Amino acid sequence: MPPFQTANALMRLIFLLVLLALSNPAAVLHAQDAFQHDGRFRNPALMAIAQASSTWGWIDFREEAMLQPRSLFRDHPDAFQLGPDDAMELIRVDTDRLGWTHFRFQQKHRGIPVFGGEFLVHQNAEGRVVSGNGKIISGLNVPSIPGISESEALETALAFADGDHYAWLDQAAETALKASSGDPNATYFPKGKLVLQRPAFDKNYRSAQYRLTWAFDVVVGFHGESRTIYVDALSGEFQTHLPISRQCAIGSGTTAHYGEHNIGTHARDFGYDLLDSCTVSHPYTLHTRDMQRTNAVSSLIEYLDMDNVWNSPVNTTGVSVHFAAQRTRDYYDYVHNRASWDDANGDWDIYNEVGFTTSSGTTSHNNACWDCYNNVAAFGGGNSSTSALDDWNTLDITGHEFTHGVVETSADLVYANESGALNESYADIFGEMVEAYTLGTPDWEVGAEFGAIRSFSDPSAFGDPDTYQGINWYAGSLDNGGVHTNSSVQNRWFHLLATGGSGTNDYGDAYTVDAIGLAAARSIAYRALTVYLTSTDQYIDAREASIRAARDLFGHCSVEAISCGRAWYAVGVGQGSSLEQLQVCGPYTADLEALTFVGIEEVTTGGTCTNTTLTALLAPIALESAISISMKPGTSLVPTTSAGVSARVEACSYTTYKWSDDYGSDPAAPTATVASKPDMLDQLTVWPNPAVRRLNIQWPFAEGEHQLRIFRANGRVLFEEKMHDQTELQLDVGTWPPGMYAIELVRKGHSSTARFVVHHH
């Protein structure tokens, strides 16, 4: 954003008065989000605990704030603009393999859940609260007592249901639900829940949009689309609906393409069935049954074989999906250490050869579904009733469907519009990863065995977009807002991240992305999904989540993290890495709004620019970089008593955002905090960065004594040496632990600093 131009003296005085009012805790704060929608926070209580680089929905906390994760919102309600009727309820705590603990909170207003009001708080392995992300809706003033009864609201909801063959009228489905849930009273009959919801599921999170609603889960199985239907609890009017079942519009295929494999089975009195309960390492079952090309749960029968050698053609389709589900289970277990699809040892139930009722009332066997019934994956039998070659249960399709269960029990991305496209994309991504885990490599096409309909490498070949809101982007209401079409943008991001590539996107932006490989890419995607994302997140949030995941896993200045940002730029989400070496040139004045100049590797002022004047009038000016900040001759600093110019060398910023109104928030960074000496900041050069084995350190002066120290991220000194009359040093870091390091070079009482990452392939 360009700097605010210098105003006249009267206007400056007005700005100063406004600034003083905002800094007064007693000043009135109008109802708004903790961050305004232009991305800059004005809340002094939040500024006291948040780093200046924080953005709307993505907060990095100050280390000195000493925050407690469980009591964060009770200790700092004003920082998040929580009113007396608001509360943040802790609903889940997870600790990941890096030792980080993640606290997931649900916002409630007068005791009623606020749809989309979710916030995650992240505590690192050292016990420090590092960051938080999500959405908190401020300024709510919604009645908590409904004006109509639950039964009255249900009548309205059923009038808007998609189909009239309800699951609670299907005795076989009711019996199966009671058995799978372990609750003898379980039923599909809709039970109303009060929730604060909006008339339209979009990016508008203004408090005035929220209404008290009755929410009903109306399950119709395979006889249409199961939906959560919202009815205004005061007026009784239909408000909106969201899909429950995640149906998959992908190609068909059969495991006959993969040859013969061992499968887990169950011995009966006579013969065997496809119930895998014999794998000791998994305390859950995997059960595959045949629905006989119907949409009735009462039609379910077992696949049977007498000698446990399953070579009969009538069993090929059952064996195929059973094998694919086992490989999906093994992938999540061995690669991501996930205990079943729900990470809670949930059983795997498969309905095969299902007939799906289409919108026209006909029956189709060309589809697959997760959650058409409770926690069940269902697969159609294709056009042929006798051949298993066109059945919808290949490795990638089976992995896709069970990944919907993974999504549901982690981020729970709402199945509509952008969050729904992300939901579908994660299912596609991990479907391909299941395929790669089993076969050694993915084919990068969805359902390629018998005719792909989506491509990771070239989405446009199937009429799908490869650029966010670019060519082929779908903006209508069909397919729940184009969830199967717009998903291809993140698919393309993942393909670029894993395999690399260069080109020009639909906006004319040229890009180059270095490949990081499947293992690193899938780890980033999985951590972004399960650790950072919340239910109503958008593409811009998926970008932020994946970059943070890459930093956590591989280091702040790693190739993996930088490629992650560049791959998002390639698909039109965020800006690329053109600011690796940023030259600040010309006069800049920070009046009411702070100015921040961020370079990935270096920020330089002055030098060839003979008139670079940085005037911190009412707000600070900050320079941020990962490697060095150089203030050269020609630079003039004009700080005031209330604001100053600071320089901070810290973690890589990789990319800056490309602003778009459609993102819902402006992620510009306002200020910086840590001061440094500008005259000594241009003296260290470190390469390669990240370092795998050899690290080269160079500085421009030789005479005199130099003290060089290298620190771990925890402050421990790993290397310390005095040097005389030399300008470079080479170190062997091949045995050093991977992670972030800092270098300090001291000469004549002044210090230079730089950072680097050690990364072992």
The domain that holds 694 is classified in CATH as 2.60.40.3080
Q: Could you tell me if 265 and 363 lie in one domain?
A: yes
Question: Which residues touch 707 (CB under 8 Å, ≥6 apart)?
Answer: 720, 721, 722, 723, 745, 746, 747
User: What is the domain-level CATH number for residue 277?
Assistant: 3.10.170.10
The domain total for the chain is 4
Q: Which amino acid is at 207?
A: S
Last residue of a domain, one of 108, 134, 160: 134
Percent of the chain with pLDDT over 90: 42
Q: Could you tell me if 85 and 182 lie in one domain?
A: no
**Residue 681 — very low, low, confident or very high, per pLDDT cuts 50/70/90?**
very low
Answer yes or no: is 517 within a domain: no
Q: What is the mean pLDDT of residues 605-623?
A: 82
Which among 462, 463, 396, 360 is positioned nearest to 248, based on CA atoms? 396
Question: Any idea what DSSP says for residue 298?
Answer: G
199 within 8 A of 215, measured Cβ to Cβ: no
Across the chain, mean pLDDT equals 81
**Residue 635 — very low, low, confident or very high, per pLDDT cuts 50/70/90?**
confident
Q: List the helix and strand counts (H, then E) for the chain.
A: 13, 41
The residue to which tokens 């004006």 are assigned:
147
Answer yes or no: is 307 within a domain: yes
Q: Could you tell me if 174 and 311 lie in one domain?
A: no
Q: Could you tell me if 261 and 210 lie in one domain?
A: no
Measured CA to CA, the distance from residue 87 to residue 81 in angstroms comes to 11
Q: Which amino acid is at 70?
A: R
Which is more confident, 251 or 568? 568
For residue 143, pLDDT beyond 80:
yes
Answer yes or no: is 703 within a domain: yes
Q: Which amino acid is at 22?
A: L
Q: Could you tell me if 264 and 394 lie in one domain?
A: yes
**Residue 16 — very low, low, confident or very high, per pLDDT cuts 50/70/90?**
very low
Q: What is the mean pLDDT of residues 176-193?
A: 88
pLDDT tens, residue by residue, 359-381: 778 889 999 999 888 899 999 98
Q: Could you tell me if 271 and 363 lie in one domain?
A: yes
Measured CA to CA, the distance from residue 162 to residue 219 in angstroms comes to 9
For residue 158, pLDDT beyond 80:
yes
Question: Which residues touch 720 (CB under 8 Å, ≥6 apart)?
Answer: 707, 708, 709, 710
- DSSP class per residue in 198-243: -SS-SS---GGG-EEEEEEEE--TTSS--EEEEEETTT--EEEEEE
Q: Could you tell me if 252 and 210 lie in one domain?
A: no
Q: What is the mean pLDDT of residues 87-114?
A: 94
For residue 77, pLDDT beyond 90:
yes
Q: Could you tell me if 236 and 108 lie in one domain?
A: no
Q: What range does the domain containing 726 cover?
A: 685-758
Q: What is the mean pLDDT of residues 44-51?
A: 86
pLDDT of residue 748: 67
Which is more confident, 425 or 452? 425
Does the pTM exceed 0.75? no
Q: What are 91's two structure tokens?
A: 């609903």
Q: What is the dihedral of CA 421, 423, 428, 431, to 10 degrees?
A: -170
Answer yes or no: is 620 within a domain: no
For residue 704, pLDDT beyond 50:
yes
Measured CA to CA, the distance from residue 572 to residue 566 in angstroms comes to 10
